[in-house]
Amino acid sequence: MLTDQRKGNRLFAGPIFTREAVVAPRRPRLFAARVVYGFSLLLLIATAWMILQGTQEVRNLSELARFGTILFQILAPLQLVVLMFLSAIQAASNVAIEKDKQTLVLLLLTRLSNTELVLGKLLASLLGIANMLATSLPIFMLLVLFGGTSFWQVLWTFAVTAASCLVAGAFGNMIALWREKTFQTLALVVLGILVWVGAWEAIALLQGSWGSFDLSQAAAACSPFQAIVAASRPDVAENFRWTVVPFLLVATGLWALLNLIAIWRVRYWNPSRDVRPGQQEAAMESSLLRDSTESPVAKSASEQARSGHIDDRSRQASRRSRRVWDNPVLWRECCTWAYGRKILFIRVVYWLASLAAGFALYSMVNSGAATFASAGAAVEIPLVARVLAPLLVVSLVILNSLAVTSITTERDGKALDLLQVTDLSPREFLFGKLLGVLYVGLDIVLLPLVLCTYLWWNGAVSGENLFYLLLSMAILNVFVVVLGIHAGLSHANSRTAIGVSLGTVFFLFLGMITCMLMLISFTGNVEFQLTPFLACIIGGAVGLYVALGWHLQSSALAFASAVLPLAMFYCITSLLLKNYTSAVLVLAFTYGFAITAMVVPRLSEFRFAQGRSKLNEDG
């Protein structure tokens, strides 16, 4: 009977996936995610319809079909971006948290095969993504009723989205099994996806050929965004064999390759080398003890055990001890490898991405296209924004993940409990973490600013706009770091803390970008479009308050949560209207207030998610 049950489990990629499939429907968050995601899509559709009704009159079926086509071409890429990044982050964080809690080693000691372990963790992580896809499918089918969209377009876009999620999840799962530190994992996953998408998008812009290969066709077969654009076109039913199917084949092969690498190397990567030196030293000591008992002229067992140990009186220190600063938290962040030595690899990858963006800006400046607007846009948006915006968002995501994992890693390692019984003040802890994260990610902060300065030097950006850019980026960098520390201290579960922190960043920027696309697509008049977006803004404010300040009962956080979505909408609208001064002033005030609302309570006491606090006795 037991054998039959184990065979049944193997059909579902092992007991890890089977347990998750059985337990997941019992968790309220599964149904909460389904309701929130479905309601958000319906809210966006209703908002777009209100924009259309408020700006023009729908007189015939062709205008209604045009509305359905534009809305579908906005929502399909939006869903691809959201679910692809969620798949990668979810798969990576699940394995990284297992490593932080040192439970992955226990799984390696069981009878689980490499395939069951790797595929089980991957598919278990993607259950929530499959749930969201299943929720959105009927909603996308409703878009067909507007006209301009066919069921084939919906099915092919969902196939592309599912394939992209599988590849992103497999990549996140493999990186998490490879790397030891949580920040290394999250940063490499984000940068890897950026390089994957950005490289093929750059190749697609070349519009040329390399030998016998057409670069545009190669980009369409390898880039998820090119594939989703091809799948959302009305002629996909006739051309899917040359547009969508090649991407599905490439994605399937890439998914299989990533999983094969993870299955092959999982027991070589784990347990990590941080654990193996202790095992080797223990084995060496036991070998010496065994030799001493066998040799009559050897030292006694006690002397042999003492030799080479810290209490060996004949042992000399190999080097002088380092002086610790007055703030030990800041000293650890700045003077030690707190995030692992492999963070250098992350910096190299980010430097390469920045150099690629710099080369693109250099080409635009030399060709005179730096000040051109995007083709077909109702509102002028410089082409350089298409290069700088993804790099800026990725830099904010990396800084935010660095900040939140600096807290969750210490909690999982039981270090936060020790800090609460020391004489470390909340001020030292908070500013030590804040300044330490900014120091570790200094190049991630400075490189986008250097690119903006390069545009000013070549006359593509005015001096006033450069000042606005530098000020806005400085405020946003501090905000995402404080947000990560706040989320890490507010939630006991590391997975929840990482999800809340990164989810807030994605909502504030990706959600507002979606609103901007709607404004540009359905009307060129963006001055009087606040009313259609009120439902989105109110819903976003409620979600922010639940994520950031529900358990703290803070009126300041409640006000910040209510103002931030409205401020982001106003800032984007002002930017489209070229009212840069008002946009920067509103951004500085709202984000400055949000930073203060998260920092001030932490300066008076430690508020960890365990429910304990430490009063600041230093005044």
Residue 88's region, left for phi above 0, alpha for psi from -120 to 50, else beta, is alpha
Phi, psi of 446 (to 5 degrees): -85, -35
Task: Provide mean pLDDT across the span 499-521.
Answer: 73
In this model, does residue 65 exceed pLDDT 90?
no
pLDDT at 289: 46
In three-state secondary structure terms, 213 is strand
pLDDT at 319: 59
Residue 414's region, left for phi above 0, alpha for psi from -120 to 50, else beta, is left
Tens-digit pLDDT profile for residues 229-262: 888 888 887 877 888 889 999 999 999 999 999 9
Task: Provide mean pLDDT across the span 523-544.
Answer: 65
Distance in angstroms (rounded) separating the CA atoms of residues 249 and 236? 17
pLDDT at 164: 94
Tens-digit pLDDT profile for residues 483-500: 999 888 888 777 778 888
Evaluate whether 165 touches 131 at the Cβ level (below 8 Å).
no
List the one residue out of 559, 568, 550, 401 whose CA is nearest residue 485: 401
Q: Which long-range contacts (CB under 8 A, 24 or more apart) does 281-288 make?
A: none
Place of tokens 């205008």: 63
Which of 314-323, 374-383, 440-449 is the least confident region?
374-383
Evaluate whether 358 touches 384 at the Cβ level (below 8 Å).
no
Task: Provide mean pLDDT across the span 438-467.
Answer: 89
Does residue 66 or residue 209 have the better pLDDT?
66
Distance in angstroms (rounded) separating the CA atoms of residues 139 and 44? 11
pLDDT at 159: 93
Sign of CA dihedral 526, 527, 528, 530: positive
- Distant-in-sequence, close-in-space partners of 16: CB < 8 Å, separation ≥ 6: 107, 112, 116, 117, 120, 121, 124
Task: Provide mean pLDDT across the span 569-575.
Answer: 78
Q: Is 361 exposed, middle or buried (0-12, 13-18, 19+ CB in 10 A)?
A: buried
In this model, does residue 167 exceed pLDDT 60?
yes
List the one residue out of 350, 381, 373, 367 whose CA is nearest residue 450: 350
Task: Provide mean pLDDT across the span 15-29.
Answer: 84
- At residue 522, what is the residue type? F
pLDDT at 270: 83
Angle between helix 224-231 and helix 215-222 axes, rounded to 10 deg: 90
Please report which confidence band the pLDDT of residue 162 belongs to, taking 50, 70 and 90 as the band edges. Answer: very high
List the one residue out of 124, 322, 157 whose CA is nearest residue 248: 157
The per-residue DSSP string of 90-128 comes to: HHHHHHHHHHHTT-HHHHHTSS--HHHHHHHHHHHHTHH
In this model, does residue 604 exceed pLDDT 80?
no
Encoding tokens for residue 531?
């009313």
Please report which confidence band the pLDDT of residue 378 belongs to, taking 50, 70 and 90 as the band edges. Answer: very low
Evaluate whether 80 touches 160 at the Cβ level (below 8 Å).
yes
pLDDT at 248: 92
pLDDT at 516: 63
Task: Annotate 162-181 with b (16+ C-beta within 10 A) or e (fewer).
Answer: bbbbbbbbbbbbbbbbbbbb
Residues of the chain with pLDDT > 70, as a percent, come to 77
Task: Provide mean pLDDT across the span 277-298.
Answer: 47
Evaluate whether 52 touches 519 at the Cβ level (below 8 Å).
no
In this model, does residue 20 exceed pLDDT 70?
yes
Task: Provide mean pLDDT across the span 1-9.
Answer: 47
pLDDT at 383: 72
Which of 78-92, 413-427, 537-551, 596-610 is the least confident region?
596-610
Distance in angstroms (rounded) separating the CA atoms of residues 470 and 466? 6
pLDDT at 140: 92
The per-residue DSSP string of 21-85 comes to: HHHGGGSHHHHHHHHHHHHHHHHHHHHHHHHHHHHS---SHHHHHHHHHHHHHHHHHHHHHHHHH
Evaluate whether 612 touches 604 at the Cβ level (below 8 Å).
no
CB atoms within 10 A of CB 498: 28
Mean pLDDT of the chain: 78
Please report which confidence band the pLDDT of residue 612 belongs to, taking 50, 70 and 90 as the band edges. Answer: very low
Task: Provide mean pLDDT across the span 375-399.
Answer: 73
Q: Is the model's pTM score more than 0.75?
A: yes
Task: Provide mean pLDDT across the span 93-119.
Answer: 86
pLDDT at 277: 47
pLDDT at 530: 60
Distance in angstroms (rounded) separating the CA atoms of residues 254 and 165? 12
Please report which confidence band the pLDDT of residue 9 belongs to, taking 50, 70 and 90 as the band edges. Answer: very low
Evaluate whether 67 touches 468 at the Cβ level (below 8 Å).
no
Does residue 453 or residue 65 have the better pLDDT?
453
pLDDT at 374: 52
List the one residue out of 152, 133, 354 whose CA is nearest residue 245: 152
Task: Provide mean pLDDT across the span 434-462.
Answer: 89
- Distant-in-sequence, close-in-space partners of 69: CB < 8 Å, separation ≥ 6: 148, 149, 234
List the one residue out of 134, 147, 132, 28 whose CA is nearest residue 85: 132
Place of tokens 């890439």: 254
List the one residue out of 239, 240, 234, 205 whose CA is nearest residue 219: 205
| Dihedral angle of Cα 268, 274, 278, 283, to the nearest 10 degrees | 20
pLDDT at 347: 87
**DSSP label at 309?**
S
**DSSP label at 382?**
B
pLDDT at 294: 46
**Chain-centre distance of CA 140, in angstroms?**
25
Please report which confidence band the pLDDT of residue 207 belongs to, taking 50, 70 and 90 as the band edges. Answer: low
